[in-house]
Chain A
Amino acid sequence: MSTFVIGIEESRKFACLSGDFNCQHLDEVQARRLPFGRTVVHGLHTLLCALDVFAQTRTSAFRLRKIRASFTGPVYQGDVAAVAIQENGDNITLTVLSNGRTVSIINFSVQTVVSEQESRAGTAVYRFSPATLIDAQEILGYSGVEPLATDADIAKSLFPNLFSTFDKDQTSVLLASTNIVGMKCPGERSIFKYLSIAFSEEGNDRTLAYKVDRFEPISSMASISLSNDWVKGSIHAILRAIPVSQTSYEDVLQAIGTQEGRGRHVLIVGGTRGMGEIATKIAAASGADVTIGYALGRDDAIRVADEISAGGGNAMCCKIDVREEIFDIDAMKSPVTDMYYFASPKIIMNNKEYIDKELLRNYIDFYLFGLDFVIDILTKRELLAYNVNIFMPSSVFVDQPKDGAFEYAAAKSMAEIYLSYLSSKHGQRLSVTMPRLPMTRTDQTSNVEGHLPSAIDILLPLLSPLHAAM
C-alpha cells in the first residue's frame, strides 16, 4: 500500500490550483466550529493524490473514460492516508484509508492516449475569494458556469507522477468540481460526498455548466449535474448546518437577575463558544469578573468579552492552549476564585470495533492532562484563591454507555477521578462540581438530528447556585 501526507501548505497550493478556498480546508480557527472540528484535506486533493499513486504504475499517458468517487470520511491535514489499488480488467478501484477507516473509494476506467489533442483548459492560479453562502431555500435550481483551467507548475509540484501521464483537460474538470462545490454551490457550507463523471473524446467546450437538480432537506443533500459537450456527470454535496449561536449576554443577564457573584474572579478555560461561552456569560452576568481562556479563537474570545463589556460586565481574555501547554499567566490580574474547565477537542465517535488509542490519548490530553496543567500553573504562581470552586462538565456517557463514545467517556471519567482526589487532598478549600451532562445544542452537535437542550437551559441551574453560595 502506498501512502501520502497532505499538510496545510499543500492544501493552500491546492486551493490556488483549484480555486477552492473553502475555510474548512484552510482556516483552523473557523474549522473548529465545523463538523470535522479541524482543517481537512479537500476531497478532490485526496482523489488526485490517489490517482498520482496509480499513475506510478502506468508507463504511458492515459485518460479516464469515467470516474466515480465517494468521500466517506475526512482526511485530516498531517495524517497519513494509504491507497490500495485493485485492478479488474479496465475497472480500477482505489480505496483510501486514514486513521483506520475508509475515507474515499474511487472507481474508474482508463484508456491509453494515442494522439494528443489541443487543450481545452486554460491556465489560472487562483487567489483567495470568499465562498458563496447559499441557504436551503434557494439551492434548488441554482446554476452557473465554471471555466476550465489548470496551472501546470502547481499541478506538477502536487501530483508529479499524475501530471506527466494524465490528461490536462480532465484534470481541469476534476479541479472545477471542487471549485463548484466549495466556492459556488453549496459554497461555504458544503461537504463533498460523491462525484461521477463520464468523459467523451469529442467536444470543444472550455467551461463546465452546473445545476442543482435535486435537494433533500432532511439530510440537506444536493444533487448537482455537471455538463458540457465532452463531460457529463453529477455531484452529491451536503449543505452543512450553520454553526450554533449561543444565547446573548443581554438574555443571560435577564435570566440571572442577581449579582451574587460580585467579588469573584472566574476563569473559564475554553470560554469562547458553546457551553464555555454560556458559562462565561452566566458568571459575568452574576457580577463576577471573568477571564476568558482561548486556545485558537482569539477573535471569538474578544467578541464574547466585548459583548459582556457592552452589557456592563467585566471580562478579559487570556491565551490558554492546554494541548501546547501555553498559558499567558501574566495576563491574570488577581487570584482565581472559580475555574470552569470547558477545554475540549472535537468530540468524535469511534466507529471501529476496537479502542482507538489515538482518540483516547487526545481526549486524555484535553480532559485530564490539560486540567492538571491549568491547576498546576495557577497553584505555582499563587493565583488560586484560598477557597476555590472548580466546575468540570462530565458526561452522561460515563454511566450510560453510548456506541462509539467509550474513549470520550473514559477520559471524562479519568478527569472526575482526578478532581475527586484533588478535592480529598485539599478538603474544604476546594469545592468540585462535575455534573454528568447530556448532549447539548452546540457546534459539537450541530449535525445531530432531533431536539437537544440548549446550553443555557443545562448550565443555568448548575452554575447559578455556585454563585449564590459564594
Chain B
Amino acid sequence: MPTIDAVKEAIATLFPLHTGEISNSTTAADVDGWDSVAHVQLMFLLEEISGKSIDLAKSVEIENVGDLVNLIEAD
C-alpha cells in the first residue's frame, strides 16, 4: 500500500468524523481531535497498517501529512 494511503487509512480510522480531503499539505490543525495524545495513537496505528517502525520523537516535528509520509519512507 502506498504510504500516503496508509496515512489516509489511519486518519480515517482514528478520526472517522473528519470529512475533508487528506493531502500532503494537511496539518494536524485541519483534523478535529488531532492533539498530542491522538498523535501518538495515530503513529501506533500507522505502524500497524504500514508494518514499519516510526520514530515517535521525530514524528512530533512534522508539519504536515507530506512530512509524515517522508518520515515513514525514510526509515
A-to-B contact residues, CB < 8 Å: 68, 70, 72, 93, 95, 102, 105, 107, 193-194, 196, 214, 216, 218-219, 221, 223, 234, 236, 238
Contacts and interface: CB of A to CB of B under 8 A. Distances in A.
Interface residues of B, number: 14
B41 interface: yes
Given A193-B37, A216-B56, A219-B36, A236 B16 contact: no
Nearest to B56: A216
Contacts of B33: 72
A194 B14 contact: yes
Interface of B: 13-14, 16-17, 33, 36-37, 40-41, 43-44, 47-48, 56
Given A72-B33, A234-B48, A216 B13 contact: no
Nearest to B54: A214
Nearest to A191: B37
A183 B64 CA distance: 38
Contacts of B44: 214, 216, 221, 223, 234, 236
B16 A105 contact: yes
B40 A216 contact: yes
Tell me if A's interface is mostly helix, strand, loop or mixed.
strand
B41 A221 contact: yes
A233 B19 CA distance: 25
B37 A219 contact: yes
A236 B41 contact: yes
Contacts of B47: 214, 223
Contacts of A107: 13, 16
Contacts of B13: 68, 107, 196
A214 B41 CA distance: 11
Contacts of A219: 36-37, 40
26 contacts: A68-B16, A70-B14, A70-B16, A93-B16, A93-B17, A95-B17, A102-B17, A105-B16, A107-B13, A194-B41, A214-B44, A214-B47, A216-B40, A216-B43, A216-B44, A216-B56, A218-B40, A219-B37, A219-B40, A221-B37, A221-B44, A223-B44, A223-B47, A234-B48, A236-B41, A238-B37
A105 B13 CA distance: 10
Nearest to A70: B14
Contacts of A223: 44, 47-48
Given A70-B16, A221-B41, 16 more contacts: A68-B13, A93-B17, A95-B17, A102-B17, A105-B17, A107-B13, A193-B37, A194-B14, A196-B13, A214-B44, A216-B43, A216-B56, A218-B40, A221-B40, A223-B47, A223-B48
Nearest to B47: A214
Contact of B41 (A95, A105, A193, A218): A193
A221 B42 CA distance: 11
